[in-house]
């Protein structure tokens, strides 16, 4: 497709003149712009149709750059950064006054991470500024895990998608803020709570908007396909209950090839939660394009990335 390219030098030119480029990361594709260029940051919100109260995540190439963005780093934040960066962890920390309010939606804190993707790390190292990059999807739609998803959404409004192939993790970063220097999970994501806890001990989870006014972007309805979706504790029972619908099943490891099922998307036949997470959005994009009237999604085990998958399915279903 026309706007997909692997030309990093061109991406640098476009970003430097204040325009946007969609960039690959290991989580999902991001819609990137220069954090110090007000027009560029405005364009991010406009292009996505994202409400201005929803802060953006700042992407930096190295831990050394963190001091240019944040004014204070609690000890446990250092431990988490050392353990997981580059990687799918966003830290929410007090911002430097130089970070524009538009980026942080007026908050005194900023979300920041080092993505773990070789092409985007090279891009960030060569740029003279950090980029803000929310997921490269229109507000409330399914996050993109392939360059083609981004091109489908923004062919008419974006100059370039930097091609980095398929996103390896396939779900957004885990967001961690600090309350009295103690880590709090604001968004479940590609790094499991168990892995976080193995570094810093027990952490609180405030993943719901009601529990956490600190993360104003955590809207209940999010990451949605257009097809109605329900979460199922028993697929066979729900197939009977909804026998008048054109059903697509989204399952963990089992396959449901019953007469009532028009499409079955199995996320990990071997029962691996990382693999299931990596395939989740592609499966939702696929199911959403099949003219179904209902997606019946299996409830995942509440452990490891199963928690993250259930969170995304709940937001898609609400
Ligand atoms: P996205 O860029 O689409 O992955 O979403 C970014 C999310 O990060 C937002 O919706 C917020 O929930 C969260 N976030 C970013 N910056 C902050 C911040 N300063 N304080 C709290 N949450 C933040
Ligand atoms: Mg998003």
Cα-Cα-Cα-Cα torsion 43, 44, 49, 55, nearest 10 degrees, comes to -130
Instruction: Compute, in angstroms, the gap from residue 215 CA to the centroid of ligand 2.
Output: 13
Q: What is the CATH number of the domain that holds 89?
A: 3.90.870.10
**Residue 128, in any domain of the structure:** yes
**Residue 29, in any domain of the structure:** yes
Residues 48 and 121 in one domain: yes
Residues 91 and 174 in one domain: yes
Residues 60 and 181 in one domain: yes
Closest atom of ligand 1 to 173 CA is 4
Residue 302 lies in domain = 229-317
**Residue 210, in any domain of the structure:** no
Residues 131 and 190 in one domain: yes
Instruction: Compute, in angstroms, the gap from residue 57 CA to the centroid of ligand 1.
Output: 6
Cα atoms found within 13 Å of the Cα of residue 159, Cβ hemisphere only: 16
Instruction: Compute, in angstroms, the gap from residue 20 CA to the centroid of ligand 2.
Output: 16
Please give the pLDDT value at position 90. Answer: 98
On whether the pTM is more than 0.75, the answer is yes
* pLDDT tens-digit map of 184-217: 999 999 999 999 999 999 999 998 876 776 776 6
Q: What is the CATH number of the domain that holds 256?
A: 3.40.50.11030
Residues with CB under 5 A from ligand 2 (ion): 135
Question: CB burial class (10 A; 0-12, 13-18, 19+) of residue 209?
Answer: middle
Residues 96 and 55 in one domain: yes
* pLDDT tens-digit map of 121-148: 999 999 999 999 999 999 999 999 999 9
Closest atom of ligand 1 to 30 CA is 2
Residues 184 and 257 in one domain: no
Closest atom of ligand 1 to 143 CA is 3
**Residue 109, in any domain of the structure:** yes
Which ranges of the chain does DSSP label H, i.e. alpha helix?
8-16, 38-48, 66-69, 75-84, 101-104, 118-126, 147-154, 193-200, 235-241, 273-288, 305-317
Inform me whether the pLDDT recorded for 48 exceeds 80. Answer: yes
Q: Cα(80)–Cα(63) distance, rounded to whole angstroms?
A: 11
């Amino acid at each position: 497709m026309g706007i997909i390219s692997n030309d990093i030098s061109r991406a640098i030119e476009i970003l430097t003149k204040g325009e946007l480029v969609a960039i690959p990361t290991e989580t999902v594709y991001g819609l990137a712009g220069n954090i110090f260029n007000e027009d560029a940051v405005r364009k991010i919100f406009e292009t996505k149709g994202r409400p201005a109260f929803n802060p953006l995540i700042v992407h930096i190439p190295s831990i050394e750059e963190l001091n240019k963005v944040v004014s204070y780093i609690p000890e446990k934040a250092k431990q988490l950064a050392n353990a997981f960066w580059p990687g799918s962890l966003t830290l929410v920390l007090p911002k430097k006054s130089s970070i524009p309010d538009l980026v942080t939606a007026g908050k005194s804190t900023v979300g920041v991470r080092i993505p773990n993707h070789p092409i985007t790390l090279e891009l960030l190292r060569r740029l003279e500024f950090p980029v803000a990059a929310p997921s490269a999807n229109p507000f409330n739609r399914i996050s993109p895990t392939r360059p083609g998803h981004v091109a489908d959404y923004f062919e008419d409004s974006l100059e370039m998608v930097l091609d980095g192939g398929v996103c390896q993790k396939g779900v957004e970063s885990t967001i961690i803020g600090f309350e009295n220097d103690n880590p709090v999970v604001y968004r479940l994501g590609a790094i499991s709570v168990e892995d976080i806890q193995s570094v810093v001990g027990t952490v609180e989870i405030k993943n719901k908007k009601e529990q956490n006014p600190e993360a104003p972007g955590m809207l209940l309805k999010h990451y949605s396909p257009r097809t109605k979706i329900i979460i199922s504790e028993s697929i066979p029972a729900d197939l009977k209950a909804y026998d008048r619908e054109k059903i697509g099943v989204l399952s963990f490891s089992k396959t449901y090839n019953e007469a009532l099922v028009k499409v079955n998307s199995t996320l990990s036949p071997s029962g691996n939660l990382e693999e299931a997470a990596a395939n989740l959005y592609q499966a939702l994009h696929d199911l959403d394009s099949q003219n179904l009237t209902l997606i019946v999604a299996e409830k995942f085990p509440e452990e490891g990335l199963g928690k993250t998958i259930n969170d995304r399915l709940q937001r898609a279903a609400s």
